[in-house]
Amino acid sequence: MQKLSAEERASFFKDFPNWEEVEGRDAAKATFTFKDFNEAFGFMTRIAIEADKRDHHPEWLNVYNRVEITLTTHDADGLSARDVALASFIERL
């Protein structure tokens, strides 16, 4: 699996303002806050189903109404097109 080039990575962070670089990792992180746990977990459920379809899974933390998502591609040891595609899906929810 091919990593994003420096240019592709720069474009990603410009085009996806909710996502930020992760200190010391070639990864992207975003935090989403919802009305309550039910809303947050519903969001996670929709992502989980899509992630499994894509065979590309997020690293994430849920605390009550907050969901922190980190995307990276283990097989590429960094950000890949699969992360861009999943971030795009997440942004469209």
Contact set with ligand HBI (CB under 6 A): 55-57, 73-75
Shorter beta-carbon distance to ligand HBI: residue 20 or 52: 52
Give 31 or 38: the residue with its C-beta nearer to ligand HBI: 31
Which residue in 79, 57, 80 sits closest to 69, CA to CA?
A: 57
Residue 2 CB, shortest distance to ligand HBI, in Å, is 12
- Angle at the Cα of 21 (from 44 to 52), degrees rounded to 5? 30
**Across the strands, what pairs with 51?**
none
Task: Report how far residue 21's alpha carbon sits from residue 26's, in angstroms, rounded to the nearest whole number.
Answer: 7
Closest approach of Cβ 13 to ligand HBI, in Å?
18
Choice between 39 and 78, CB closer to ligand HBI: 78
